[in-house]
Structure 1
Amino acid sequence: KVGADWKIMIPDGRIGDSGKILIFDPPRRLSMTWQNEFVPDMKAEGHSTCTYDLEPAGTAVKLTVTHEIDKPDSKLIGGVSQGWPHLLASLKSLLETGESLVESRTWPEGV
């Protein structure tokens, strides 16, 4: 629902990331604000915008993830640049085999 809050919970109960739904257009598009909640430098940057677009691609579906960050020196850019490829690889594995990548089932050490 547009305007609804969302959050990612870290296994120890802390909130990892949070935001608000901006666009909810199933099954085509989901867009939301995004804010890191547990790394002080990233949290201080405020919200970015993340959009998921789905479109037919032959017998498959193409997923495009666009994470817009307006600060060129953003620390969040480094985080999402490492995180999204790993999460999308895990999603691909889950869809193809029924199992996500083992590494994606745990939170990074020391976070």
Structure 2
Amino acid sequence: MSSEKRTESSAAGDSTFVYVTFIRTTPQALWEALTRREFTERYWFGMHHECDWQTGSPWSLRFADGRIADSGAVVESDPPKKLVLRWRNMFLHELNAEGDSFCTIEIEPVEHAVKLTITHRVARPGSKFIEKVSGGWPRIVSNLKTLLETGEVLMPLVVMAD
């Protein structure tokens, strides 16, 4: 099945990245893969989330050694359909200086698969953060898709360069 990626700037000055793919799985299995540590560590290159996935709860993405890579809060949680995170990079000064972004993850059943749409947006034209996630999300989601469809990740030991 196909994947689509798009980066754009809106008239309001936002920078937006959209990634759409179809995965042969169920909405519940995809939700669990997105939110459970034992899954995320496998496809997110050793990183994991710390969160209870309730609306209003704090959220962080951590490196394997425990350092915080990104942090924010759950803006909306509607399992297994939609997750919205307020997201801020914590380890690169130039990206942190851009402020908060918002990541919307939508899960929709389509025939014998699930449509996954990730929209990452920051209220800033020409965002370096959006430039970085536009390279990172396709790698992460490709790993996730392959894991769910085959039981193995596509790129097991790849370390993402900045």
Q: TM-score, normalised by structure 2?
A: 0.63
Match of 1:56 among 68, 88, 109: 109
Shift of 1:84: 0.6
Could you tell me which residue of structure 2 aligns to residue 44 of structure 1?
97
Contact 1:35 1:46 in 2 (8 A): yes
Which fold has the larger relative contact order, with Cα–Cα distance below 8 Å and residues 6 or more apart in sequence? 2
**1:60 CA displacement:** 0.9
| Cα pair 2:121 2:130 within 8 Å, conserved | no
1:4-57 Cα offsets, whole Å, 9 max, x none, are 011111123210011100011111100010100000010111100001101110
- Mapping for residues 3-42 of structure 1, pairs under 5 Å: 3-42=56-95
**In the alignment, structure 1 residue 75 sits paired with structure 2 residue 128:** yes
Gaps of 5+ in 1: none
Q: Amino acid of the residue matched to residue 160 of structure 2?
A: P
Identity among equivalent positions (%) equals: 45
Shift of 1:107: 4.0
Which residue identity lines up with residue 10 of structure 1 in the other structure?
F
Q: Secondary structure at the match of 1:102?
A: coil
Q: Structure 1: how far apart are the matches of 2:147 and 2:108? A: 19
Give RMSD over aligned pairs. Answer: 1.5
